[in-house]
Structure 1
Amino acid sequence: MSNMRVYEVLAQAFVAEGVDTHFALMGNANMYWSSLLAQKHGVRTIHARHEHCACAMAGGYSRATGKIGVASVTCGPGFTQIMTELACATRGNTPLVIFAGDTELNASWSIHELDLGPLAVATGAHYVPMRHIDSVLECVREAFHVARFERRPVVLGVPMDLQQQPFPYLPDYKPSTDLGPTPQRAQPDPALVDQVVEMIAAARRPIIIAGRGAVHSGAGAALEALAERCGALLATSLLAKGLFDSNPFAIGIAGAFAGNLAREQFAESDLVIAAGVGLGHYTTEGGYLYPNARVVQIDTHPRGLWQGLRVADLHIRADAKASVDAILTKLRERHIALPGLRTHVLAQRIADEVIDSKEFPVEPNTVDPRAALLELDRVVPKDWDIVVGNGHFTNFVLTHMRGRAPERWHVINYFGAIGSGLPAAVGVAVTRNDGKVLLIEGDGSLLMHIQELETIKRHGVRLLACVLNDGAYGAEAHKFRAHGMDPSEAIHGRGDLAAVARGFGLRGVTVNALGRFEALLREHQKGDTAELWDVHIADKIPSAQYRRIHFGEI
């Protein structure tokens, strides 16, 4: 007999799994476990004001660290609040373990009673129900093992009465890290490498696309060497943004966020080599981005069909860096080196390109969002983490901000949901603990969970929030206008978000003119609290992406 209750043993097991930070909204089904985690084991615990936000904070923590994010919620309505974030984490391959307190196993009735499993599984999460005292530690180990090695969220359902039972055994816990496979680089099939080399030798307009898998593999330098060897241009998926920003032949993000020059080059390409990238709907513009190209996909989990699209002509199931190194070796052995697309003229065109130069009238006391983002990009140091919420404004951010490592970008749009940027930024800021975190968010998205400004103040979280405030749900307003319809139902007014921030005890500043960011940043860095800039942007300037997709602009 251990003289411990089950919730105490569970807390000890979580610590053994390496948990150092935990995000929670406390209720009667998780209160004893979460309190013990903080008070006895010294796990930093951030108490959110909404269950969705607790999980989104854990997601931000995971994306910033590469570790498993841990959150806890109570039973019934505490659990139903987190469905959106579970779906976001599933789509984003974000490893989370959610300690979900559950109603009593032996109760005849509870107002909070709910079958957690079907809801969790419907989001794509894995569900581990804890039902017997003999298997509680095995359940914890399974949860962490699945999260770590399948890279997806796991819900651990823990009944309240089971938590309070005396644990009848010695709490001898072997963490999931002791049982997992040894990390290794999957090597490419030499015969497939030869096929890629033949395709490169025959190509005249090759383009390389790198994704998040290439970043994790450390393949950036090898891909640049390959591109130089075969005369290829370089592009990335959204999740690898920034990987090649310093290369003179880099053309930015492939697909929906591509500029006109990149779209022109993709349309004429005869070979696309994709490394560590899924080649889904947005990256390939629904399959129309490179209609004349043969496609090679290098990925540890390649797909023949994904998001309704045929992905590639040749798939190599292997690590990105190992595969690119093998291809380079074979090219050198065969003395194959091609000019491809690389000319001084094209390099100059890339350097001189202005992504969006169309002029629009700007209302008094507002700023052009494109100019504001260029100024922000120039002022904010490149070693800051940039957390980007989801909305029409996202197009401006991803188009006009450059020169940052992919690990510094956190674009929260895996499920197309708004409202997750602020809590995700809290998770990143808790991880960095240096104040060098910039959240760029829209007003409608921020207002969904603005109560977390109180969490930021209470826990002393240091970050800077730049809210691009158009007084509307901008995406919907622009789509209404594109169809000649009245957008008024999508317009709610700007409000005074800076005053709201000050009401929560933070610094808040309204920005309605260009040229202020540099001085404001200096003042922010002198302080020791979070700050919100309420940037009033002109509300009738659609992004280049929206003008092309919704307004039919060529």
Structure 2
Amino acid sequence: MSTEITGYARLVDALECLGTREMFGVMGVGNMHMVGEFAKRGGRYVATRHEAGAVNMADGQARTTGGLGVCTVIQGPGLTNAITALTTAVRSASPVLVITSELPLGRRPAGQAIEQEPLVTATGATYLRVTDADPGAALIEAAELALRERRPVVLSVPGAVQRRTWPPAPLAAPAVRLHRVPAAEADVTLLARLFASATHPVVVAGRGAQWSGAGDAVAELAERTGALLGTTALLKDRFRGHPADVGVVGGFSHPLARDLLGAADLVVTLGASLSVWTIARGGLFPRATLVQCDHDADAIGGQARPDHGIVADVRALVEALLPRLPDPDEAPARWAAEGAFDRLAARKPDDDVVDGSDEDRLDPRTAAMVLDRTLPADRVLTVDGGHYIGFPTEFIAVPDPRQYQFTLTFGAIGQALGVAIGAAVAKPGPAHVCVIGDGGLATSIADLDTVVREAVPLLIVVFNDMAYGAEIHHLRHEGLPDEIARFTGPDLVEVAAGFGCDARRAATATELTDAVRGWSGDAPLLIDVPIDGLLLAHWYAEVLDPPRQLTRRTG
């Protein structure tokens, strides 16, 4: 007869069954036995100094591997500390499993006791509590749910359940199958008719297209219809090199793309949320018929109202549509005849940039272009939040959209450093680069301890305007003094050195080039780049003065 084992050992059994090699976390009484068991069996436990960092790192692990990210925090204050990072992971559709504990509330909650479930569900994550079930089986169920629904799950296993013994029943990793919503005949017919009459069509792919495996089919759709081909920011560079590629569609579009997209008469978005980022707050397609396709009915019209909404799996819809289209020679699209593809092929990233750098600080566009030229071609780019974020997004290319991590999904700065650490730990090999502002770094500074202690090979580039740059532009726009959004220090090179991290300052293009080329690639390096924070990004100008068309599209 088999000997029963503890609940915390069953949790580790389940993690082994899932193939979990790394777990991020902050340890305490509520999880220390599980963490110890995981490490004893050879798992890599990456300790963080703050729970937000643990969740961010699991988020980065999920993003870069396409699988499950795993972290652990203690109950009560451990979980409350993680809420912003958890919400960011929810908004990023990251399958993250957060293992925690909980304490009984009693009539008058005290100490670390708190009603945790409403707190978690308010973020959009799922909360599962283990009471009488086998903790190992419950963890497998939670992992399956996170992977199937592409969202975080918080699994609460109280201490009493962890200490209880359980039979060592066999566990099986979940087989997560993609549920494909079939395309309705009427929707396929509608799209075929719209493309047949459009003269300036545009196809925009989002992550839903990637999740359904529709990338090649979407490219064929653009070729068959003569359409321009673009992506949301989250699918950046998916069609890079394609003759019809206009790059990111929305606030981060380059000037030529904006000029062309303004003439669109049909815009078909596939697996894209139609957020204000993508429609540039309503002003990007002033004359276009807007069609939104998504497998999730709740996503249709969630942020902007399309003229036509189609609920279907992107791949199923596009593959059903392709046979209904006329031969390319018969398509009425005029982009090619008007020279749009030739203009795109001839365009260079610096065509529209007049370098505003001086001897003390860099134009952020120039800094981003230097990074693009100097970094290894195989790079993973993680970008934090702030006014500057459009510059690395526009000017730094990635070889695959899964190697671009956009962390401003909840509008919170300070998420990128943890996400980048998780990505670098989970996917060694490419050059991992985190571009972050001085404000974002300050809010996540404790993660530098993890970078150094774990010897994470991460290049941290700080776009430093010694201010909250977005707030500077808001204050100036309102005619208010901006001193309250400015800072006088500290010296980030000295701060990084205090953590034991190699660091240097690069105030010119040459210094930045030398610093990047001098990076070994196998240890962390922080580069402090003073930037011109008064240069107003075109996407942020739309934040300050939204186009009037916004009211036509949003409710």
**TM-score, normalised relative to structure 2:** 0.91
Q: Distance in 1 between matches of 2:279 and 2:355?
A: 29
SS at structure 2 position matched to 1:545: helix
Shift of 1:44: 1.6
2:22 is matched with: 21
1:129 is matched with: 129
Name the amino acid aligned to 2:169.
Answer: D
Say yes or no: does 1:175 pair with 2:169: no
Name the amino acid aligned to 1:443.
Answer: D
In the alignment, is the contact (CA less than 8 A) between 2:183 and 2:311 conserved in 1? yes
Shift of 1:491: 0.4
Say yes or no: does 1:51 pair with 2:51: yes
1:468 is matched with: 463
SS at structure 2 position matched to 1:540: coil
In the alignment, is the contact (CA less than 8 A) between 1:260 and 1:355 conserved in 2? no
C-alpha offsets along residues 338-358 of structure 1, whole Å, 9 cap, x if unaligned? 443123632343333667846
SS at structure 2 position matched to 1:177: coil
Correspondence 1:3-42 to 2 at 5 A: 3-40=4-41, 42=42
Larger relative contact order (C-alpha < 8 A, sep ≥ 6)? 2
2:553 is matched with: none
1:144 is matched with: 143
Name the amino acid aligned to 2:164.
Answer: Q
SS at structure 2 position matched to 1:310: coil
Name the amino acid aligned to 2:23.
Answer: H
Shift of 1:218: 3.4
Shift of 1:129: 1.1
Q: Distance in 2 between matches of 1:445 and 1:139?
A: 36
Q: Distance in 1 between matches of 2:522 and 2:456?
A: 9
In the alignment, is the contact (CA less than 8 A) between 2:378 and 2:398 conserved in 1? no
Name the amino acid aligned to 1:421.
Answer: A
Correspondence 1:365-384 to 2 at 5 A: 365-384=360-379
Shift of 1:121: 0.9
Deviates more, 1:96-105 or 1:203-212: 96-105
1:117 is matched with: 117
Say yes or no: does 1:546 pair with 2:543: no
Q: Distance in 2 between matches of 1:257 and 1:334?
A: 30
1:435/1:263 Cα in 2 relative to 1: closer, same or farther (>3 Å)? closer
C-alpha offsets along residues 448-490 of structure 1, whole Å, 9 cap, x if unaligned? 1112111111112111111111101111012111222111100
Q: Distance in 1 between matches of 2:326 and 2:356?
A: 55
Say yes or no: does 1:255 pair with 2:250: yes
In the alignment, is the contact (CA less than 8 A) between 1:434 and 1:462 conserved in 2? no
Say yes or no: does 1:395 pair with 2:390: yes
In the alignment, is the contact (CA less than 8 A) between 2:130 and 2:157 conserved in 1? yes
Shift of 1:366: 1.0
1:342 is matched with: 336
Say yes or no: does 1:309 pair with 2:304: yes
2:519 is matched with: 524
Say yes or no: does 1:536 pair with 2:530: yes
Shift of 1:72: 0.4
In the alignment, is the contact (CA less than 8 A) between 2:8 and 2:135 conserved in 1? no
Q: Distance in 1 between matches of 2:161 and 2:211?
A: 40
Shift of 1:407: 1.6
Q: Distance in 2 between matches of 1:146 and 1:95?
A: 9
Shift of 1:126: 0.6
1:166/1:366 Cα in 2 relative to 1: closer, same or farther (>3 Å)? same
C-alpha offsets along residues 82-109 of structure 1, whole Å, 9 cap, x if unaligned? 1101111111111111111222699997
Say yes or no: does 1:274 pair with 2:269: yes
C-alpha offsets along residues 104-162 of structure 1, whole Å, 9 cap, x if unaligned? 69999752111111111111111111222x45344323311221111111111111122
Q: Distance in 2 between matches of 1:173 and 1:98?
A: 23
C-alpha offsets along residues 522-554 of structure 1, whole Å, 9 cap, x if unaligned? 3212x6321000011122222122234427899
Identity %: 32
Correspondence 1:239-250 to 2 at 5 A: 239-250=234-245
Shift of 1:210: 0.8
Aligned positions, number: 546
In the alignment, is the contact (CA less than 8 A) between 2:407 and 2:415 conserved in 1? yes
1:194/1:553 Cα in 2 relative to 1: closer, same or farther (>3 Å)? closer
1:502 is matched with: 497
SS at structure 1 position matched to 2:165: coil
C-alpha offsets along residues 372-404 of structure 1, whole Å, 9 cap, x if unaligned? 111111111231100111111102112222363
Deviates more, 1:91-100 or 1:290-299: 290-299
**Which 4+ runs in 1 deviate beyond 6 A?**
105-109, 551-554
C-alpha offsets along residues 18-57 of structure 1, whole Å, 9 cap, x if unaligned? 32211010001000011101212x2221101111100100
Shift of 1:303: 4.4
Q: Distance in 1 between matches of 2:140 and 2:27?
A: 23
Q: Distance in 1 between matches of 2:360 and 2:536?
A: 18
SS at structure 1 position matched to 2:488: coil
SS at structure 1 position matched to 2:509: coil
Q: Distance in 1 between matches of 2:256 and 2:324?
A: 31
Deviates more, 1:289-298 or 1:491-500: 289-298
Name the amino acid aligned to 1:464.
Answer: L
* 1:445 equivalent among 440, 445, 449: 440
Shift of 1:192: 2.6
1:289/1:516 Cα in 2 relative to 1: closer, same or farther (>3 Å)? same
Shift of 1:362: 4.5
**TM-score, normalised relative to structure 1:** 0.92
Gaps of 5+ in 2: 549-555
Gaps of 5+ in 1: none
Q: Distance in 1 between matches of 2:9 and 2:198?
A: 62
In the alignment, is the contact (CA less than 8 A) between 2:283 and 2:547 conserved in 1? no
1:428/1:52 Cα in 2 relative to 1: closer, same or farther (>3 Å)? same
In the alignment, is the contact (CA less than 8 A) between 1:304 and 1:310 conserved in 2? no
SS at structure 2 position matched to 1:85: helix
1:84 is matched with: 84
Deviates more, 1:499-508 or 1:212-221: 212-221
SS at structure 1 position matched to 2:202: strand
